[in-house]
């Protein structure tokens, strides 16, 4: 059976390519998704990729992932720094979680240094742009191999 990774993207990530390119670069979310899918396929994994600007929908997706996905890869955007609801859902999912961010959140504004997602994540990859998603897929492959 092929392991499934659910990739969840939070608010404003749909604006990649045009939003603050000095911070987030010129990659689009569609481009990141294509590269992520290619890397996952090469490792024998499947990927489901989603984006929402709504906190409740993100929480719903995490809750629905239990029993459907093998691992969550999460870029919660601004909800990273604000959402206890997302943290609670991630912890309740009992799924391995990898946190990813395009920018290095620790080099940015002070409020971005705190991550609720990190409290549920096995690890975080940040600061490598869209390539961070590919790095996270590589990490996921190792985690799932060791889990099996």
Q: What is the DSSP string of 57-92?
A: HHHHHHHHHTTT-SEEEEE-GGGGGT-HHHHHHHHH
Average pLDDT over residues 117-143: 97
Domain that holds residue 30: 4-147
- Judge whether 24 counts as a catalytic residue: yes
pLDDT digits (tens, 9 = 90+) for 66-110: 999 999 999 999 999 999 999 999 999 999 999 999 999 888 878
Catalytic residue among 24, 79, 116, 133: 24
Q: Is 148 a residue whose pLDDT tops 80?
A: no
How high is the pLDDT of residue 25?
Answer: 78
Q: 96: helix, coil or strand?
A: coil
Catalytic residue among 79, 101, 116, 133: 101
- Cβ neighbours of residue 14 under 8 Å, at least 6 residues apart? 29, 51, 53
* Other CB atoms within 10 Å distance of the CB of residue 93: 20
The rounded distance, in Å, linking the Cα atoms of 68 and 57 is 16
8-state DSSP, 55: H
* pTM, full prediction: 0.94
Q: 6: helix, coil or strand?
A: strand
Number of domains in the chain: 1
CATH value at residue 58: 3.40.50.9100
| Mean pLDDT taken over the chain | 94
- Judge whether 79 counts as a catalytic residue: no
How high is the pLDDT of residue 120?
Answer: 98
Average pLDDT over residues 40-50: 97
């Amino acid at each position: 059976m092929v392991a499934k990774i659910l990739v969840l993207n939070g608010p404003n990530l749909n604006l990649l390519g045009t939003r603050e390119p000095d911070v987030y670069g010129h990659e689009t979310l569609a481009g990141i998704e294509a590269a992520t899918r290619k890397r996952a396929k090469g490792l024998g994994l499947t990927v489901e990729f989603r984006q929402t600007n709504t906190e409740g929908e993100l929480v719903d997706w995490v809750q629905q992932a239990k029993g459907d996905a093998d691992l969550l890869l999460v870029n919660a955007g601004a909800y990273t720094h604000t959402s206890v609801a997302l943290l609670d859902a991630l912890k309740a999912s009992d799924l391995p979680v990898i946190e990813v961010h395009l920018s290095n959140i620790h080099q940015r504004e002070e409020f971005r240094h705190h991550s609720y997602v990190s409290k549920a994540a096995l690890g975080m990859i940040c600061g490598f742009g869209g390539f961070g998603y590919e790095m996270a897929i590589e990490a996921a492959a190792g985690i799932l191999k060791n889990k099996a």
